[in-house]
Structure 1
Amino acid sequence: MISNNFKFIFFLFLAVVVVGACQSNKKSDVYSDWNHIDDSNEFLSNVIIEDIFTPPVASRIIVYSNLAAYESLAALNDTISSFHGKLNDFQIKNGDEEFSNVNPSIASFIAFHTVAKELVFSKDLVSKHLDSLKENFSANFDQEVIEVSYAFGESIANQIVDYSKSDGYHERTGLTRYSYDNDPGKWKATPPDYMEGIEPNWHTLRPLILDSASQFRPEPPTKFDSTENSQFYKEALHVYETQNNLNDEQVEIAKFWDCNPNISYRKGHMMFYNQKISPGGHWISISNIATQKKGLDIYESSRVLTLVSISLYDAFLSCWETKYETSLIRPITYINRYIDPNWNSLLQTPAFPEYTSGHSVISTAAATVLTNLLGDDIYFEDTTETAFGLPVRTFESFLDASNEAAISRLYGGIHYMPAITNGVKQGDKVANLVISRLIKK
C-alpha cells in the first residue's frame, strides 16, 4: 500500500518546486528542469505492489511507462535519441503540437502516468495522483502551455499503449496452461500454496531487443537423477547443506533479495499474504538511487531508467522461456522426496520451474547496463527493502549487488548452483545486446 509518508514527501517536494518556479517564470520554460522520473517510478512501484502483479508482468508495466516518458523527452531535446526503429516493430510520431510551447517535464509526466494507468488495476490511484498535480499546474502556469503539454504527452502515451497492445500480452491468456506429467524430474507445484505455474506462455510476447525469447537459451541443466552418487543429487545436497549451515549475514542476504511480490503465511486455519517489491522493481529502485547520487537531469535519468527497464523486460522473457522449456524440479520437491522429508526452504519457493534463476538473469542484465551507463565503481546504499522492515545493504558496484542477488537464491534454498551461474551468463548476454544496439554508437 502507498504510504502516507511517501505521499507527504512527494507533495511537499512538488510544492517547493511549484513555488520556486512561479517566482522565476510562468512561461513555457517553467518546469523544464523538474526531474520527476525517480518519483514517478517510485509511485508506480507502489501501485504495482498494491495490485500484486507477478514479476514478469511488473516488468512490462515498468518498461512501457518509462518508454512513454523517454520518447516525450527525446522529441523535445536532442541530448537523447528516440528508440524509433531500434526496438522491435517500434515506430513513433512526435505529434502535431508546437514544440516551442510544450513543457518537457509536464509532457513526460503525463505520458508516463497515462500509460501506467492503462496497464495497472488501481487506475483510481493513478487518476488521483494526476488530478492532484493538474490542480497545481492550472493554478500556477499558463493555460496554453498546460494544454499543449498535456496534448503532447497524451499523444505519445497513446502510441505507446497501441504498441503495447500488439505485443501478445492479451493473447497469451488463451494459450495452453502448464500441464503436469509423471516425469519425476519435472517441476511440480510447491508448498505451501501449490499454485499453478505463473506465466507459462510469457515467452510468446514480443521482445523489445531480442530476436526471440530463445535467443540466449543457456546450456541444459544437469540431467535429473535421484541416485546418491549422481551429479544432480550432489547439487541438491549442496542446497540442503548450505541452508542448514547459514550464518546470520547469509540469512540477511537471502531475505534482502527475496523480492517475492506475494508471500503467503498461515495463522491457525487462516492464510494471509504479504506484498513486497518485485525483483525488477528492486532494480528500478537501485537505478533511482544511482541517478540521484550522480545528480542526473531529467533527460539522462529517463535514459537510464528506460534502458534498465528494457533490459529487465527482455531478461524476463529470456529467463521464462528457459524455465518452461526445461521445466526442472525445485530443490524443495527433490529434497523432500530423496533427502529429508521434513526440510523446508528458507524462502518461499516461487510458483514456476527452477532453471534458470530469475533474479540471477535480471539482476545481471540490469547491473551490466547500469555499469555501462554510470561506471563500475559507484558505491551506494541500497535502501529499497527498508519499507519492508529489512536493513540497508551497501555495495561497491552494481555488479557487486547483482552477484549477491544471484547467490542469495542458493542461501534461500530455492535454486541449484547451475541455475545461478548459467543465469548470470544469460543475463549478461541480454544486457550486452541492449548495450550494442541502444547505447554504443
Structure 2
Amino acid sequence: MMRYNLSLHLPPIAIGAARLTLLLTLLVLGCERAPTYTDSEIALAWARLSLDITKDTPGNSPTYASRCFGYLGVTMYESVVHGSPDHRSLVGQLSGLDHLPVPNPDAPYDWALVLNAAQAAMLRDLYQQTSPGNIARIDSLERRIVQSRSREVDQPTIKLSVAYGGRLASMIYEWSKSDGGHRAYLRNFDKALVHPQRPGGWQPPLYAQSFSHHPLHPAWGTNRPFVPANYGMAAPAFIAFDTVPGSPYYAQFRSVYDKGRTLTQAEKEAALWWGDDPAETFTPPGHSYYLATMILEQEGASLISCAETLARTGIAVADAFINCWRWKFEVFSERPNTFIAAHIDAEWESFWPDPPFPAFPSGHAVQAAAAAEVLMDLHGDDHVLMDASHEGRQRDVVRDVEFRTRNYTRLSELAREVADSRFYGGIHTPQDNERGLERGADIGRHVNGLQWRN
C-alpha cells in the first residue's frame, strides 16, 4: 500500500521518481532471484496478471473490465511501437488521443522494460479499488522483470526505459479520465434511473444474477469509444412487441421456452462455461483477452505481435460494451423470464439467472464477435484451442453441471458458441444473439481499419 501512502503527500512526478528509485534500489540489492523472461513472455505475464487482478477485485463488472482491457492493450502497444519501424502509433487515430511522449531517437531503450513499467503503472491506476495483496503482486512482477533484464541491460538503459514507461502510462491514464467511465466501480448500479414504461420493457428480475434490482451502468453507452468509426453506430433492428401466439415476437420467446425444456448436458455445460460471472471470473471481455493470450502462446508470437493483438482485442471488447450498452438502454427490452412467465408458462424459470440490465442485444455476442473479428484478421480463423480458463472450478451442484474444458478448431465457431450459450441459459432470444454477432463483427472491423502499419 506504499503507493497510496505516497500519494497523500507527493505530487505525481515525485511519486514516479520515488517508485523508480525504490525499484532500482531493490534491483541493486538483488533481494530475490528472478526467472529469465523473453520479450514476449513479459507481455504475456502482464496479460495473465491483468486477468487475475480482474477476477480477484471485488465489485468488478463486465463493463468496467472491458474498459480496463482497452486501456491496458493500448498502453502495451504504445510502449513498444517505437521499437518496431513497421508499426504506427495510435496517436491521432483514437478518440481524443492527440499526444503521447515519444522516446529520444538517440537514446537506447529496452522496449520490454518500457512495457513492464507502463503495464504496472496502468494496472495500479485502473484498479485502485483492488486489495493490498493484488497491489503487491503487481509490484512483485514489475520488480522480478527488472531484475531479470538487469543481467543483460545496463543501469542507464534500465533507468531510461522505466522512466519512459511510467510517463507513457501516466499520460494514457490522464486521457482515460475523460471517457465517462473513470472509476465507474464506485457507481455500478443506478438507483435513480426512471424505467421507461412500454410494452415488453425490461423489468428487474426475480431470478437474478445480481443482488441489485437496479440496472448496471445505464449511462455506459454514452462513454467515448476508442475508435471514431464506432461512434453513432445505428441500433440493430428489433422485432416489434406482440403477445399473439405465432407472431414473430412471440416466436422468439417460445423458442427459448422450448429449448429450456430440452437442454442437453453439452448445452448446459456451454451455458455454465460462458456464464463468466464477474463475481467469480475475469468477466466475458476478460475471457476474450484470455483467448488472445492462448493464441499468442501457441504461435510463439513476437513482442510487437503480442502488443498489437492485445491492443486490438482490448479496444474491440471495450467499444463492444459501449455500443451494446447504448443499444440495450435505447431498446430497453425484456428478458425471457418476464415474457414467458406472463404469456407462456407462469412456472418457467431460466437455466441461468438474469443479469441486471436489459436484453437486446446480447453483450456476450457483441463482444465475442468483435474479439473474434480482430483475432481472425491477425491470426486467421483456424485454431485448435483448448479453453481451460475455468478448469478446477467446483461443480455447480444447483444445475448438476461440471466445468469441463472446451475445445475449438475455429474462432468463428467459438464466437457462435459464446452467443448460443446465452440462449441455452434462457436469458437471450435468438434475435438478441444474431444481431449481437452482426454488430460485434462490425465493431471489430472498425478496429482492424485503424492504421496499425506504416
Q: TM-score range by the shorter chain?
A: 0.7 to 0.9
Does the 8 Å CA contact 1:260/1:350 hold for their aligned counterparts? no
**Deviation per residue, 1:53-104 (Å, 9 max, x gap):** 1111101111112211210101233243211111112133334657643211
Q: TM-score, normalised by structure 1?
A: 0.85
Aligned residues: 402
Q: Report the alpha carbon displacement of residue 322 of structure 1 after superposing the two structures with TM.
A: 0.6
- Cα 1:212–1:96 shift into 2, 3 Å: closer
Could you tell me how far apart the structure 2 residues matched to 1:360 and 1:427 are? 7
Q: Report the alpha carbon displacement of residue 150 of structure 1 after superposing the two structures with TM.
A: 1.4
Pick from 32, 36, 40 the counterpart of residue 17 of structure 1.
36
Could you tell me how far apart the structure 1 residues matched to 2:133 and 2:417 are? 34
Pick from 173, 193, 205 the counterpart of residue 190 of structure 1.
205
Could you tell me how far apart the structure 1 residues matched to 2:52 and 2:326 are? 28
What is the aligned partner in structure 2 of residue 124 from structure 1? 132
**Deviation per residue, 1:205-227 (Å, 9 max, x gap):** 111114454314211x2111223
What is the aligned partner in structure 1 of residue 422 from structure 2? 409
Task: Please tell me whether residue 425 in structure 1 is matched to residue 431 in structure 2.
Answer: no
Could you tell me how far apart the structure 1 residues matched to 2:182 and 2:173 are? 13
Does the 8 Å CA contact 2:70/2:315 hold for their aligned counterparts? yes
Does the 8 Å CA contact 1:65/1:115 hold for their aligned counterparts? yes
**Deviation per residue, 1:368-398 (Å, 9 max, x gap):** 1101100121221111221535221111111
1:81-96, aligned counterparts within 5 Å?
Answer: 81-95=88-102
One-letter amino acid of the structure 1 residue matched with residue 348 of structure 2: W
One-letter amino acid of the structure 1 residue matched with residue 34 of structure 2: A
| Aligned partner of residue 17 in structure 1, secondary structure | coil
Could you tell me how far apart the structure 2 residues matched to 1:181 and 1:164 are? 31
Could you tell me how far apart the structure 2 residues matched to 1:353 and 1:301 are? 35
Could you tell me how far apart the structure 1 residues matched to 2:65 and 2:392 are? 19
Task: Please tell me whether residue 225 in structure 1 is matched to residue 233 in structure 2.
Answer: no
What is the aligned partner in structure 1 of residue 297 from structure 2? 292
Could you tell me how far apart the structure 1 residues matched to 2:84 and 2:99 are? 16
Question: Identity percentage over the alignment?
Answer: 26
Pick from 37, 41, 50 the counterpart of residue 47 of structure 2.
41
Does the 8 Å CA contact 1:276/1:388 hold for their aligned counterparts? no
Could you tell me how far apart the structure 1 residues matched to 2:158 and 2:132 are? 22
Q: Report the alpha carbon displacement of residue 138 of structure 1 after superposing the two structures with TM.
A: 5.2
One-letter amino acid of the structure 2 residue matched with residue 50 of structure 1: D
- Cα 1:124–1:79 shift into 2, 3 Å: farther
Pick from 147, 150, 165 the counterpart of residue 153 of structure 1.
165
Does the 8 Å CA contact 2:94/2:228 hold for their aligned counterparts? no
1:93-108, aligned counterparts within 5 Å?
Answer: 93-95=100-102, 100-108=107-115
Pick from 384, 406, 412 the counterpart of residue 379 of structure 1.
384
**Deviation per residue, 1:19-61 (Å, 9 max, x gap):** xxxxxxxxxxxx6x35322221221111112224111110111
Unaligned runs of 5+ in 2: 1-32, 395-402
Greater mean deviation of Cα atoms: 57-66 or 227-236: 227-236
- Cα 1:205–1:242 shift into 2, 3 Å: same
One-letter amino acid of the structure 1 residue matched with residue 121 of structure 2: T
Task: Please tell me whether residue 55 in structure 1 is matched to residue 62 in structure 2.
Answer: yes
Could you tell me how far apart the structure 1 residues matched to 2:288 and 2:258 are? 30
Task: Please tell me whether residue 201 in structure 1 is matched to residue 219 in structure 2.
Answer: yes
Task: Please tell me whether residue 144 in structure 1 is matched to residue 173 in structure 2.
Answer: no
| Aligned partner of residue 16 in structure 1, secondary structure | coil
Q: Report the alpha carbon displacement of residue 171 of structure 1 after superposing the two structures with TM.
A: 9.7
Could you tell me how far apart the structure 2 residues matched to 1:438 and 1:125 are? 39
Could you tell me how far apart the structure 1 residues matched to 2:60 and 2:69 are? 11
One-letter amino acid of the structure 2 residue matched with residue 37 of structure 1: A
What is the aligned partner in structure 2 of residue 9 from structure 1? none
Does the 8 Å CA contact 1:87/1:209 hold for their aligned counterparts? yes
Does the 8 Å CA contact 2:40/2:301 hold for their aligned counterparts? no
Could you tell me how far apart the structure 1 residues matched to 2:361 and 2:274 are? 16
Q: Report the alpha carbon displacement of residue 194 of structure 1 after superposing the two structures with TM.
A: 5.1
One-letter amino acid of the structure 1 residue matched with residue 95 of structure 2: N
**Deviation per residue, 1:261-300 (Å, 9 max, x gap):** 13xxxxxxxxxxxx12211000111000001111101111
- Cα 1:130–1:422 shift into 2, 3 Å: closer
Could you tell me how far apart the structure 1 residues matched to 2:442 and 2:230 are? 13
Does the 8 Å CA contact 2:124/2:138 hold for their aligned counterparts? no
What is the aligned partner in structure 1 of residue 368 from structure 2? 363
Q: Report the alpha carbon displacement of residue 408 of structure 1 after superposing the two structures with TM.
A: 1.1
What is the aligned partner in structure 1 of residue 15 from structure 2? none
One-letter amino acid of the structure 2 residue matched with residue 190 of structure 1: P
The structure showing larger relative contact order (alpha-carbon pairs under 8 Å, at least 6 residues apart) is: 2
What is the aligned partner in structure 1 of residue 258 from structure 2? 241
One-letter amino acid of the structure 1 residue matched with residue 55 of structure 2: I
The CA RMSD measured in Å over matched residues stands at 2.4
Q: Report the alpha carbon displacement of residue 339 of structure 1 after superposing the two structures with TM.
A: 1.6
One-letter amino acid of the structure 2 residue matched with residue 150 of structure 1: V
What is the aligned partner in structure 2 of residue 312 from structure 1? 317
**Deviation per residue, 1:337-357 (Å, 9 max, x gap):** 222222111111111101001
Task: Please tell me whether residue 164 in structure 1 is matched to residue 172 in structure 2.
Answer: no
